[in-house]
């Protein structure tokens, strides 16, 4: 034959040889060459082999004394859907071609031959709504057996099948090859799992947008995506939709899906209202313990004590204990928080009294707690606040602080705030008067070269210089 040769790109899976020799009854037989073509010397071209059995092509050559060789081309080859046969009056050269089988007539041989094709198939379309009509195309062979996965079957090479219910279906095709021997020709089977998908036709569509965008969307408890969502298919009927974005209230409602009316939702989410507690607490501790605590003029317990249910804002706290100077300060309370207040109380000076009994002149120490004319008040503040206060070597709290019943005279006040240079001042306290101590740390902020040991040394020197000084 002299077919137009289109190139190797058209080569497809073809017949595989199981037995090398084919025999047809009679004096002459045919020597088979599977996967080979012979160009030229054709005297009978493109004979249709309706059976698609290559043995019928060989038989035509055997029955014709002029024929010396023959070539068979499989169905759906280069010459249309039918199998074709070419008869030749001379034996051309052999050329590889997976679509062909060629024979050369020989004498005195007797045998049989079987062939099979590697099965393959396709379907169009492979997915869609119910009912779904699929056209299948099977590979070449002499017999076909289809199983469509829904109970349906066919023995056609290229059947058309209708799926009438939603679901996923696996398809199987078994083909038979050809034989000149007794018995059935060999077969091959292929299954494509989940090949066909049929969706329910009773569906509608849902589109969702939200402000803000990016809300997680769930239908009947199953997440389907993030807004915006367009054209999501859902079963007809009532569904519960929810939208959620952190920091916003959960949105939930029922929607009705219909195949005739697409549902479009535009949802504006509401920001979550964060409720701040309106009250807080103060935890007051003293050294020594057992001091009375008054908040805004109301007695609130004895240290250590937690004063609860205080309105958010600033409160005046006064701490008193016999034999110690009164302590007063302002504390700012935030809702839902407990503010710690730790105070070291300053002991008052001890006076002496002489017994009226003539039998003894012994002096008896008597703690003086009344506000005498020999005592004044220190109002100690700083910018920023929160500086640790040391009065004559005793830690008494943090700024701002009011210290009452301080013995008249000169006292050393040390203020220390992290990140700043400590300040040391000698303060003169006048009887019956309030002396203000107000230090702006911004004027003495730490700079490179600041030596903490130097400051500590200065403080030690001050303390040593005050050794023996009488104070409250």
Give residue-wise pLDDT tens across range 388-444.
999 888 888 889 988 888 888 899 999 999 989 899 999 999 888 899 999 998 876
Token representation of residue 428: 């003169």
Regarding predicted confidence, which is higher, 248 or 468? 248
Confidence at residue 117, expressed as pLDDT on a 0 to 100 scale: 62
Confidence at residue 444, expressed as pLDDT on a 0 to 100 scale: 65
Q: Among residues 208, 207, 209, 214, which one has the least CA distance to residue 247?
A: 214
> Residue 74 and residue 157: Cα distance in Å, rounded?
14
Reply yes or no on whether the pLDDT at 70 is more than 70. Answer: yes
Summary mean pLDDT of the chain: 80
> Residue 269 and residue 210: Cα distance in Å, rounded?
7
Reply yes or no on whether the pLDDT at 1 is more than 80. Answer: no
Q: Are 312 and 336 contacting, i.e. CB atoms less than 8 angstroms apart? A: no
- Among the residue ranges 20-29, 223-232, 410-419, the one predicted with the least confidence is 20-29
Regarding predicted confidence, which is higher, 152 or 201? 152
Report, in angstroms and rounded to the nearest whole number, the Rg of the chain calculated over CA atoms.
54
Confidence at residue 27, expressed as pLDDT on a 0 to 100 scale: 52
Q: Among residues 25, 71, 20, which one has the least CA distance to residue 45?
A: 71
> Residue 472 and residue 466: Cα distance in Å, rounded?
13
Which residues are paired to 30 by β-bridges?
22, 105
3-state secondary structure the chain: CCCCCCCHHHCCCCCEECCCEECCCCCEEEEEEEEEEECCCEEEEEEEECCCCHHHHHHHHHHCCCCCEEEEECCCECCECCEEEEEECCCCCEEEEEEEEEEEEEECCCCCCEEECCCCEEEECCEEECCEEEEEEECCCCEEEEECCCCCEECCCCCEEEECCCEEEEEEEEEECEECCCCCCCEEEEEEEEEEEEECCCEEEEEEEEECCCCEEEECCEEEEECCEEEEEEECEEEEEEEECCCECCEEEEEEEECCECEEEEEECCECCCCCCCEEEEEEEEECCCCEEEECCEEEEECCEEEEEEECEEEEEEEECCCECCEEEEEEECCCCEEEEEEECCECCEEEEECCCCCCCCEEEEECCCCCCCEEEEEEEEECCCCEEEECCEEEEECCEEEEEEECEEEEEEEECCCECCEEEEEEECCCCEEEEEEEHHHHECCCCCCHHHHHHHHHHHHHHCCCCCCC
Q: Are 345 and 322 contacting, i.e. CB atoms less than 8 angstroms apart? A: no
Confidence at residue 11, expressed as pLDDT on a 0 to 100 scale: 29
Dihedral sign of CA atoms 294, 297, 299, 305 in order: negative
pLDDT per position as a tens digit, 175-207:
886 655 555 666 788 999 999 999 877 788 999
pTM surpassing 0.85? Answer: no
Average pLDDT over residues 279-300: 94
Place of tokens 């004498």: 107
Burial (CB count within 10 angstroms: exposed 0-12, middle 13-18, buried 19+), residue 216: middle
Confidence at residue 21, expressed as pLDDT on a 0 to 100 scale: 31
pLDDT class of 161 with cuts at 50, 70, 90: very high
Confidence at residue 210, expressed as pLDDT on a 0 to 100 scale: 95
Confidence at residue 366, expressed as pLDDT on a 0 to 100 scale: 32
> Residue 11 and residue 388: Cα distance in Å, rounded?
94
Regarding predicted confidence, which is higher, 115 or 74? 74
Q: Are 311 and 332 contacting, i.e. CB atoms less than 8 angstroms apart? A: no
Q: How far apart are the first and last CA of the chain?
A: 129
Regarding predicted confidence, which is higher, 368 or 66? 66
pLDDT class of 79 with cuts at 50, 70, 90: confident
Sheet with 216-219, strands from edge to edge, namely: 222-226, 216-219, 237-244, 251-257
Confidence at residue 148, expressed as pLDDT on a 0 to 100 scale: 97
Confidence at residue 450, expressed as pLDDT on a 0 to 100 scale: 39
Q: Among residues 472, 383, 381, 374, which one has the least CA distance to residue 432?
A: 374
Confidence at residue 452, expressed as pLDDT on a 0 to 100 scale: 41
Average pLDDT over residues 56-81: 90
Sheet with 263-268, strands from edge to edge, namely: 229-235, 203-211, 263-268
> What structural domains does the chain harbor?
8-116 (3.50.4.10), 121-199 (2.60.40.10), 206-268 (2.60.40.1120), 279-344 (2.60.40.10), 366-465 (2.60.40.1120)
Token representation of residue 407: 């013995």
> Residue 179 and residue 20: Cα distance in Å, rounded?
12
> Residue 86 and residue 302: Cα distance in Å, rounded?
119
Confidence at residue 8, expressed as pLDDT on a 0 to 100 scale: 30
């Amino acid at each position: 034959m002299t077919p137009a040769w289109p190139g190797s790109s058209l080569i497809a899976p073809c017949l595989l040889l199981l037995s090398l020799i084919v025999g047809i009854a009679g004096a002459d037989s045919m020597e088979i060459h599977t996967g080979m073509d012979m160009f030229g010397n054709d005297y009978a071209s493109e004979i249709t082999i309706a059976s698609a059995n290559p043995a019928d092509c060989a038989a035509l050559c055997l029955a014709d004394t002029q024929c010396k060789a023959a070539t068979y081309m499989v169905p759906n080859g280069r010459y249309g859907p039918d199998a074709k046969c070419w008869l030749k009056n001379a034996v051309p050269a052999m050329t590889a071609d997976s679509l062909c089988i060629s024979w050369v007539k020989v004498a005195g041989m007797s045998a049989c031959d079987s062939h099979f094709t590697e099965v393959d198939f396709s379907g169009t379309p492979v997915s869609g709504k119910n009912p779904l009509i699929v056209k299948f195309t099977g590979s070449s062979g002499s017999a076909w057996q289809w199983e469509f996965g829904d109970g349906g079957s066919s023995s056609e090479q290229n059947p058309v099948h209708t799926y009438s219910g939603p679901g996923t279906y696996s398809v199987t095709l078994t083909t038979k090859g050809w034989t000149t021997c007794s018995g059935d020709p060999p077969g091959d089977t292929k299954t494509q799992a989940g090949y066909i998908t049929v969706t329910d036709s009773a569906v509608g569509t849902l589109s969702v947008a939200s402000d803000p965008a990016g809300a997680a969307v769930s239908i009947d408890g199953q997440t389907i995506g993030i807004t915006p969502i367009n054209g999501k298919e859902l079963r007809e009927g009532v569904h519960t939709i929810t939208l959620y974005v952190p920091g916003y209230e959960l949105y939930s409602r029922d929607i009705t899906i219909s195949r005739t009316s697409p549902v479009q939702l535009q949802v504006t989410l509401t920001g979550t209202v964060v409720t701040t507690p309106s009250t807080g607490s103060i935890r007051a501790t003293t050294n020594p313990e057992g001091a009375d605590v008054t908040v805004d003029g109301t007695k609130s317990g004895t240290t250590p004590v937690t004063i609860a249910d205080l309105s958010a804002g600033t409160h005046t706290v006064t701490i008193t204990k016999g034999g110690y100077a009164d302590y007063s300060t302002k504390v700012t309370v935030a809702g839902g928080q407990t503010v710690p207040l730790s105070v070291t109380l300053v002991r008052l000076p001890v006076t002496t009294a002489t017994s009226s009994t003539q039998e003894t002149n012994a002096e008896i120490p008597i703690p003086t707690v009344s506000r005498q004319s020999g005592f004044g008040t220190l109002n100690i503040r700083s910018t920023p606040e929160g500086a640790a206060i040391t009065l004559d070597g005793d830690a008494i709290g943090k700024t701002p602080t009011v210290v009452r019943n301080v013995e008249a005279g000169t006292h050393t006040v040390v203020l220390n705030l992290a990140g700043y240079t400590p300040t040391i001042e000698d303060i003169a306290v006048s009887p019956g008067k309030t002396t203000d101590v107000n230090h702006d740390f911004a004027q003495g902020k730490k700079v490179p070269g600041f030596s903490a040991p130097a400051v500590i040394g200065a403080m030690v020197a001050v303390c040593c210089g005050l050794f023996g000084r009488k104070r409250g």
